[in-house]
Amino acid sequence: MEDEITKYVANFVQSCEQYEVAKQDLREVQENEKSIEILKTDMKNISSEYFPLRNQAEVVDNEIAELEIQLSERKMKKKRLSKMLEVLAGRATTSKQALVSAEQDHEKLSVLKKVEAEKVIGDMKRSWESLKLGYSNMLV
């Protein structure tokens, strides 16, 4: 019987050790499960913050893309307007030169025509005076 008691005590001690190990294992499993639940909750919280931020970032990216298109269009428009201004400036320069040239030619012609006109008028007056003088001598 002593053998049975010794065996029983040995089994009991072994069972107690296994019980303590099992109890410790159970605590570890429960702590791991608790950690996993905390991590899942954290992931849900992160997800609830992440998606709205990602959506806002996409909206901003779209706005930037739209603004870049507008900027590109305005740069092209500016280039066209600059070219048009260049053409107009060239035309204005050409017109100004033509105007100056025309005014100079007009001034030269005007002086010549004025001198010629004054000569013709002077000749006509002298001719008239001569005619009047000739007829008045005849009448006397």
Identify residue 132 by its one-letter amino acid code. K
Report pTM. 0.49
Q: pLDDT at position 140, please?
A: 61
What is the pLDDT at residue 139?
65
41, containing H or E segment: helix 2-139
Report how far apart, in Å, the C-alpha atoms of 1 and of each of 7, 11, 15 are.
10, 15, 20
Neighbours of 136 (CB within 10 A): 9
Low-confidence residues in the chain, pLDDT < 50: none
